DNA sequence: GTCTATAGTGGGATAGAC
DNA sequence: GTCTATCCCACTATAGAC
């Protein structure tokens, strides 16, 4: 994803990410970014046409990581394996409910591990045309596979995104345990009965 | 809700709302707000301590309206009435699925009728302590009543909020019909079978 | 690839007179 | 309740020298 970038550009993106993750989107300014690199702000424009171009790299990086996290969760399979079948080396089809729970946990974990990056990824108009082709679909596939149809996948995605945003923004009552809400939503949205 | 405000302050809030709804949060500056009222920016500070105080009024206004919209949807009852029972004047318990669909439609409609206000209402840290007491609960009650328990209500709220945000941000594939996703999510989250 | 210098724009907010 | 004058801040971005 960042392969087409020069080494210096990659350093800049790395510094931008540190800045973003540590202090949020407002702290990501060209001046501060330059400061962190020990150079002056105008020098950045030799490597990127504008600030948006730097942000696009961060978004692509985040989406790729999220895609990997979801793929890993999908591959893990059910937490509790059925003993005999596994001992026999037979491949057991994963219970969709387990996969769904795993995907939800992975999504939530990624968002909370990188809250500011997650916000950047999901805020404002989406730079679809500037991102690596296929990345968007790749991120969506694990969910589509487990729920079966696109409409249900969209509903489940909206649920997860909504939970994350409401949690991040402190919208739920302070101190509320949200595990049950996640569980209820994920199980309700797995598959049509 | 705005009863404790002076008449002039109410005019300011009204102008702020016009500005916000028309041009978005970035356009809501003290300078532009003053322009619209035919005064200078510093004069605003005789009525509000700072910009955040104006925004809090807008948030309260939006929440009150949303609460009313949801209460209205709840009271409407099932679209298709069961003829005989109604003719006999007997009160028919509304089908939760119908109520849920109505609440979802009302929520979505409000958000799309006032996208910038909705964003302001649901963005960033929540000024809980500055809002009229009970307003938050009141807005949540219709949903809690129809789904039965708080966890399910939170899940349903997250779903609706997520759908709205993803739609507003153009996150779904361009041209996608999202009616089915809304239907799937709302029916899945109504009640435990 | 970096620098200096600088343009251009915009923002929130205060002091003190009227 | 409004004004003028003003402060101080911050940002993106460009031009041109080294």
The answer to whether residue A77 scores a pLDDT higher than 80 is no
Q: Which residues of chain A neighbour B182 with C-beta distances below 8 Å?
A: 155
- B11-62 pLDDT, tens digit per residue, is 999 999 999 999 999 999 999 999 999 999 999 999 999 999 999 999 999 9
Residue B76 confidence (pLDDT): 87
- Record: contact B170-A122, CB cut-off 8 A: no
DSSP string, A131-185: SPTTHHHHHHHHHHHHH-SHHHHHHHHHHHHHHHHHHHTT-SPTT---HHHHHHH
The answer to whether residue A61 scores a pLDDT higher than 70 is yes
Q: Would the pTM of this model clear 0.75, i.e. be above it?
A: yes
Nearest of B37, B50, A38, A131 to residue A121 by alpha carbon: A131
Domain annotation covers residue B1: no
CATH of residue A131's domain is 1.10.357.10
Covered bases, chain D (protein CB within 7 Å): 1-5, 10-16
Domain annotation covers residue B14: yes
Angle between helices A179-189 and B179-189 (to 10 degrees): 120
Kindly calculate the radius of gyration of chain B based on its CA atoms and give it in whole angstroms: 20
Q: Can you tell me the mean pLDDT for A69-86?
A: 73
Confidence band for B190, pLDDT divided at 50, 70 and 90: very high
DSSP string, B135-164: HHHHHHHHHHHHH-SHHHHHHHHHHHHHHH
Residues making up chain B, counted from first to last: 193
Q: Would an 8 Å CB–CB cutoff place A118 in contact with chain B?
A: no
The answer to whether residue A18 scores a pLDDT higher than 80 is yes
- A20-60 pLDDT, tens digit per residue, is 999 999 999 999 999 999 999 999 999 999 999 999 999 99
Confidence band for B191, pLDDT divided at 50, 70 and 90: confident
Mean pLDDT, all residues of chain B: 93
Residue B57 confidence (pLDDT): 98
Q: Which two tokens stand for residue A45?
A: 């424009």
Confidence band for B3, pLDDT divided at 50, 70 and 90: confident
Confidence band for B89, pLDDT divided at 50, 70 and 90: low
The answer to whether residue A139 scores a pLDDT higher than 90 is yes
Domain annotation covers residue B105: yes
Asked if strand D contacts B68 at the CB level, meaning under 7 A, the answer is: no
Residue A76 confidence (pLDDT): 87
- A82-128 pLDDT, tens digit per residue, is 555 555 556 677 899 999 999 999 999 999 999 999 999 998 889 99
Domain annotation covers residue B2: no
Residue A90 confidence (pLDDT): 61
Q: Would an 8 Å CB–CB cutoff place B125 in contact with chain A?
A: yes
Domain annotation covers residue B148: yes
Q: Would an 8 Å CB–CB cutoff place B42 in contact with chain A?
A: no
Q: Which two tokens stand for residue B104?
A: 């979802």
Q: Would an 8 Å CB–CB cutoff place B145 in contact with chain A?
A: no
- B97-133 pLDDT, tens digit per residue, is 999 999 999 999 999 999 999 999 998 889 999 999 9
Confidence band for B158, pLDDT divided at 50, 70 and 90: very high
Residue A154 confidence (pLDDT): 98
- B130-145 pLDDT, tens digit per residue, is 999 999 999 999 999 9
Q: Which residues of chain A neighbour B155 with C-beta distances below 8 Å?
A: 159, 163, 181-182, 184-185, 188
Q: Which residues of chain A neighbour B163 with C-beta distances below 8 Å?
A: 154-155, 158, 162
Q: Which two tokens stand for residue B28?
A: 């809501």
Domain annotation covers residue A179: yes
Asked if strand D contacts B8 at the CB level, meaning under 7 A, the answer is: yes
Residue A86 confidence (pLDDT): 56
Nucleotide nearest to A45 (CA to C1'): D13
* CA/C1' separation B7–D3 (Å): 21
The answer to whether residue A16 scores a pLDDT higher than 60 is yes
Domain annotation covers residue B113: yes
Nearest of A138, A142, A123 to residue A58 by alpha carbon: A123
Q: Which residues of chain A neighbour B183 with C-beta distances below 8 Å?
A: 151
Domain annotation covers residue A174: yes
Confidence band for B192, pLDDT divided at 50, 70 and 90: confident
Nucleotide nearest to B42 (CA to C1'): C13
Nearest of B77, B70, B112 to residue B94 by alpha carbon: B77
Tally of structural domains, chain A = 1
- B7-25 pLDDT, tens digit per residue, is 999 999 999 999 999 999 9
Domain that holds residue B141: 7-189
Nucleotide nearest to A7 (CA to C1'): C1
């Amino acid at each position: 994803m960042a392969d087409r970038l020069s080494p210096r550009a990659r350093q800049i993106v790395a510094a931008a990410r540190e800045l973003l993750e540590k202090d949020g989107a407002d702290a990501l300014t060209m001046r501060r970014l330059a400061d962190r690199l020990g150079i002056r702000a105008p020098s950045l424009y030799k490597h990127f046409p504008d600030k948006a171009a730097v942000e696009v790299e961060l978004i692509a990086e985040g989406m790729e990581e999220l895609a990997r996290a979801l793929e890993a969760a999908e591959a893990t399979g059910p937490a509790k394996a059925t003993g005999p079948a596994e001992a026999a080396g037979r491949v057991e089809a994963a219970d969709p409910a387990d996969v769904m729970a795993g995907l939800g946990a992975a999504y939530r974990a990624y968002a909370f591990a990188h809250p500011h990056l997650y916000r950047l990824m999901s805020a404002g108009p989406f730079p679809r045309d500037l991102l690596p082709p296929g990345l968007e679909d790749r991120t969506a596939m694990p969910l589509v596979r487990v729920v079966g149809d696109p409409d249900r996948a969209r509903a489940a995605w909206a649920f997860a995104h909504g939970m994350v945003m409401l949690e991040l923004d402190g919208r739920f009552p302070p101190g509320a345990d949200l595990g049950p809400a996640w569980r209820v939503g994920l199980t309700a949205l797995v598959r049509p009965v």
